[in-house]
Structure 1
Amino acid sequence: MIPDGLRFRAPASAVITEALRVQSAAPPRSALQRLFGMSPLSADAQSWYLGALGELEVGRILDRLGDDWHTLHAVPVGSQGSDIDHVVIGPGGVFTINTKFHEDAKLWVGSSRLLVNGQKTDHLRNSEFEATRAAKILSGATGQTVAVTPILAIVAAKSIQIKEKPARVVVLRAGELVRRLERYPSILGPADIAAVMHVAVDPTTWSTVEPPAADLTTFTELREAVGSARRRRLLWATVGMLVVIGGLLAVAGAVFWR
């Protein structure tokens, strides 16, 4: 019997907790700001918030894996507050998934670097580091060699150009995750999966610090408020556009009937 431990930890728990902590310092919006759809999200909380959206989306996608696959989310590692977005264990092996939300961005992937809109990132290095760290931890806990494959899952990008595949890190769109994972040849049997899962779900395998539970209710409320503000801005933009079009039509009509 595999204990629960991290089994039911919600996706994005760590980034949600940090997003809400940072957001708590933001001043409340005035009535006028709410009327015109100013986002309640502070600039400091923006990156954490978007990171949470990415991890939640990948968590939703990974739920489609078959029953012989197991996924752990927001796995705390070490004592400095680090975490691995997703650890996936199944017939195809063990995988760490580093999730990145890059809405409408253009990504360029080379053998050893990844650019987002032309800017260098540490995505490949960090993804490989996470897998190496996870392999060391799980191998030590099981007493067997556990190989871990790093995956970098990209959410909401406009385009991904893979010029040269990285030697170790698999880079793909989040929507391709299930198909890619299930296409890996089976290298772990049920007993192997159970052995790795037995230690992987135990928080003390990964860290001496107990992970905080995310306030999912408050984050949902924040997400709804952000969405409502965005819809209000779009409404005002539409109204403004209609006013301009109406003005132009009026001028055109006046000219026509002159």
Structure 2
Amino acid sequence: MDLARNAPGIGVSYEAARRRQAEGLGADRSWRVGADGEVAVGEVLAELTKVSRWDRLRGRPPSWWVLHSVPLGDGRGRVRGDVDHVLIGPPGVITINSKHHRAGRLTLDGEQLVVNGHLTEYVRKARREAERAAQFLRPALAGAGTPELAARVAVRPMLAIVGGRLLISRWAPGVTVVMTRQLLHAVRSIPAVLDAAEVATVYEVARRSTTWNPGASS
């Protein structure tokens, strides 16, 4: 399946509909809020993928590509969650987890991200998500005939917070945590390691659903 067809939040929206049908009105609320957050982040990321008229006339590809609602498998063809957004560009690959908290108060203290007084697992899960994504993407790139690219492509985790207020005491090691208004600046600030051709190669492999869920039918 071509994951480029996926709209932001589509996986969570399906789950919201399933919950509402199975459990009744209101059971889908948290899922709908999550879907709205993914849509909001997707709209911000769309700014990165725009191609100017001049570049289009010269045949230049986009510098950035993005995939949404990317299903991650268990290695045996079964889906075990998804990545909200996979951003591919000059710095490599960034897995972005959207968190929608509307008027929430969030405090980041290293590994700990507290939301309205409740300790979350957001940072740890974002890091683990990027690690899982790398475990699938690198073998797929090597299998596509680009082992050198597979060996050096970086997969970075990021948390994008929609709504609320974020206070930072200490940065999370290895995980970028930003509000949506800072998202574009954050990703553009990461040093480039891939050229345009390499970015396009990674994207072509990443858009295949079987890259992320080996063993599943395409």
In the other structure, the counterpart of 2:19 is 22
Could you tell me the TM-score, scaled by structure 1's length? 0.71
- In the alignment, which residue of structure 2 is the partner of 1:187? 193
**For 1:201 and 1:192, how far apart are their aligned partners in 2?**
14
Aligned to 1:123: 122
| 1-structure distance, mates of 2:200, 2:163 | 34
Question: In structure 2, what is the Cα distance between the partners aligned to 1:108 and 1:165?
Answer: 10
Q: How far 1:191 moved relative to its partner?
A: 2.0
Query: Is 1:50 aligned to 2:33, yes or no?
Result: yes
| 1:147 pairs with one of 143, 149, 154 | 154
Q: CA deviation at 1:141?
A: 0.9
- Superposed displacement of residue 43, structure 1: 2.9
Matching residue of 1:12:
9
User: What corresponds to 1:101 in structure 2?
Assistant: 100
- Match of residue 63, structure 2, among 45, 65, 68: 68
**How many residues matched?**
193
Name the counterpart of 1:217. none
For 1:84, the equivalent position in structure 2 comes to 83
Letter in 1 for 2:44: I
Give the aligned partner of residue 197 of structure 1.
203
RMSD (CA atoms): 1.7
* Aligned pair partner of 2:169 in 153, 163, 172: 163
Q: CA deviation at 1:198?
A: 1.8
CA distance in 2, matches of 1:189, 1:134: 21
Give the structure with higher Rg (CA). Answer: 1
Structure 1 residues 206-237: Cα deviation after superposition (integer angstroms, max 9, x where no partner)? 114579xxxxxxxxxxxxxxxxxxxxxxxxxx
Cα distance in 2 for partners of 1:189, 1:20 equals: 41
1:98 corresponds to which letter in structure 2? Answer: N
Q: Distance in 1 between matches of 2:8 and 2:180?
A: 14
**Structure with the bigger percentage of strand:** 2
Q: Please point out which of 181, 184, 200 is paired with 1:178.
A: 184
The structural deviation recorded for 1:24 is 2.0
CA offset at residue 26 of structure 1?
5.7
Query: What is the deviation of 1:92?
Result: 2.1
Tell me the distance in 2 between the aligned counterparts of 1:199 and 1:179. Answer: 26
After TM superposition, the score normalised by the length of structure 2 is 0.83
Alpha-carbon separation, structure 2, partners of 1:43 and 1:168 = 36
**Residue identity matched to 1:107:** L
Aligned to 1:237: none
Gaps of 5+ in 1: 28-41, 212-258
| 1:23 Cα deviation from its structure 2 partner | 1.4
* 2-structure distance, mates of 1:107, 1:89: 28
Q: Higher helix proportion, which one?
A: 1
DSSP-derived class of the 1:124 partner: helix
Task: Give, in whole Å, the separation in 2 of the partners of 1:139 and 1:195.
Answer: 12
